[in-house]
Amino acid sequence: MLQRPPAEPPSAQVPARAWLMLALATVGFAVNFWAWALLSPLGPRFKDTLELSSFEQSLLVAVPVVVGSLGRIPVGALTDRYGGRVMFPLVSAVTVVPVLYLGLAGHSSLPALLVGGFFLGVGGTAFAVGVPFVSAWFPPERRGLAIGVFGMGMGGTAISALTTVKLVDAFGTANPFLVTAGVLVVYAVVATLLLRDAPGRAAPAEPMLRRLTGTLRLSITWQASALYAVAFGGYVAFSVYLPTYLKTGYGLTQADAANRMAGFVLLAVAMRPVGGWLSDRVGPVRVLAGSLAVVVAGALAQSFTPSLAPLGTVAFLSMAAALGAGSGATFAFVALLAPPGRTGSVTGVVGAAGGLGGFVPPLVMGSLYGAYGSYALGLLLLAAVAAAALVFTETGVRRAARPVRVPAVNAR
């Protein structure tokens, strides 16, 4: 049974520098995610100019997702070893290379785009750097909110959605890639100068492979991975595929579809810290259960392809809010249960599961539409997966979280 802990001791107060580190980490996450999502808004354009099939278009936008997801596993382990002060500038600097390649030479054919997209996935690994970095700066009873705020950096995909097509139309295909590369370079320099790891951070002594093996034996790793594959995976899937869905299913223009996708992303981003904040107060299990129930209802409603005004819009925005809150709650759960020396490793595996959860749906949606001319079956599958995750949350996850005390932040 959850018990109210005693009032927070003075040592639980958050130092002022922690908020600066959180802000710098959030900006770094946003900038790298901006780069990671550059190909998605241009998917419909490349489909027309390169005469791609629906599956090829889906593959194009999904490749950075899967690489960025799997890459979080070693990057999370490296962050445990070297800290965010080293890894944030390093990931940002490495991401500059594929961004410049895609802008200057790699957008003229599908193979060239796939090669660039493969290495562009490095930008998606920034998430596995930020979670352990931020967690180390905040006490357990504040980590849900802190990691939720950091998670707002996923709004970098909204920056891409709002600016990429406009910059291409105004200045040519290379422009958004050059702009993003410049921002990444500036951030890498600023991060090198200003980022500091939390005082007392101890690098693990055991080899990385042994740490990863130990991480895979933890139940929290697999429980959180299953939940994040649905919550964040659903967000990623919609953020990369929604422009195609709206253009194909509703006949919207590319610009209108990209703007609507940006609205979806911004709402999910805004709800992520809300999910973490609520988890600090009522527990992550309740927040996850409520979020997944909303996803089930929204996916079922959208499977009938209602008109966008108002039912379709309500369904998508409800799912955006729920997926954002559920993503924040998942990492509040991780912050409570993951061993401190393995937070980066657990984050890497869980983050990989979330990204992979976003890799499969675009391919499924593209294939189903190509076969049946409808997205209904894909949305019904989403509802079924979310329902299964809801049952798992109310059983296995609730049992795992029961020994964890929910802080009473007002008990002072």
The H or E element spanning position 103 is: helix 84-104
* CA 68 to chain centroid: 10
Instruction: Give percent above pLDDT 70 in the chain.
Output: 94
Kindly tell me if the per-residue pLDDT of 74 is higher than 60.
yes
Helix (H/G/I), strand (E/B), else coil: 396: helix
Q: How many residues does the chain have?
A: 412
Answer for the pair 314, 95: CB distance below 8 angstroms, yes or no: no
Preceding amide of 111 cis, omega within 30? no
Task: State both tokens at 72.
Answer: 């979080």
| Dist. CA 373–CA 101, nearest whole Å | 35
Kindly tell me if the per-residue pLDDT of 332 is higher than 90.
no
Range 239-265 average pLDDT: 82
Helix (H/G/I), strand (E/B), else coil: 306: coil
For residues 5 and 251, the model is more confident at 251
For 4-63, write each residue's pLDDT tens digit: 444 444 445 777 899 999 999 999 999 999 999 888 888 878 888 887 887 788 788 778
Q: What is the pLDDT of residue 5?
A: 40
pLDDT-based confidence at residue 182 (cuts at 50, 70, 90): very high
Answer for the pair 154, 27: CB distance below 8 angstroms, yes or no: no
Q: What is the pLDDT of residue 107?
A: 79
Query: How far is CA 33 from each of CA 48, 56, 127, rounded to the nearest angstrom?
Result: 25, 22, 9
What single string gives the DSSP state of each residue in 261-291? HHHHHHHHHHHHHHHHHHHHHH-HHHHHHHH
**Four-CA torsion 253, 68, 232, 186, nearest 10 degrees:** -80
Among 277, 51, 323, 40, CA closest to 156: 40
CATH node for 16-197: 1.20.1250.20
Helix (H/G/I), strand (E/B), else coil: 55: helix
Of 85-94, 116-125, 158-167, 383-392, give the lowest mean pLDDT range.
Answer: 158-167
Q: What is the pLDDT of residue 361?
A: 81
Q: What is the pLDDT of residue 11?
A: 44
Q: What is the pLDDT of residue 408?
A: 44
What is the chain's Cα-based Rg? Answer: 20
pTM of the model: 0.75
Among 60, 176, 167, CA closest to 112: 60
| Dist. CA 199–CA 383, nearest whole Å | 44
For residues 94 and 259, the model is more confident at 94
Q: What is the pLDDT of residue 12?
A: 56
Contacts by 46-52, CB closer than 8 A, 24 or more apart: 46/107, 46/110, 46/113, 47/244, 50/109, 50/110, 52/110
Q: What is the pLDDT of residue 403?
A: 55
For 262-311, write each residue's pLDDT tens digit: 788 889 888 988 998 898 888 889 999 999 999 999 999 998 888 888 89
pLDDT-based confidence at residue 96 (cuts at 50, 70, 90): very high
* CA 125 to chain centroid: 10
Range 188-202 average pLDDT: 90
Where in the chain are all domains bearing CATH 1.20.1250.20? Answer: 16-197, 207-401
Q: What is the pLDDT of residue 402?
A: 66
The domain 207-401 is classified under which CATH number: 4.10.520.10, 3.90.79.10, 1.20.1250.20, 1.10.10.10?
A: 1.20.1250.20
| Dist. CA 343–CA 135, nearest whole Å | 8
